[in-house]
Amino acid sequence: MAYIYNREAIIQSLRWKLGSVLPQEILVKLHNLEIEYFKNHSEALESYMSEMDLDLTVDMVPPKDPYIRVRVLDDIGDVCLGDHTVALTKNSLHFLRRSDAEPFISQGTLEEFID
pLDDT tens across the length of the chain (115 residues):
999 999 999 999 999 888 899 999 999 999 999 999 999 999 999 999 999 988 888 766 676 788 999 999 999 999 998 888 999 999 999 999 998 999 999 899 999 988 7
Which sequence spans correspond to the domains of the chain?
A: 2-52, 67-112
Contacts 24+ apart (CB under 8 A), 92-101: 93/69, 94/69, 94/70, 95/67, 95/68, 95/69, 95/70, 96/67, 96/68, 96/70, 97/66, 97/67, 98/64, 98/65, 98/66, 98/67, 98/68, 99/66, 101/68, 101/70
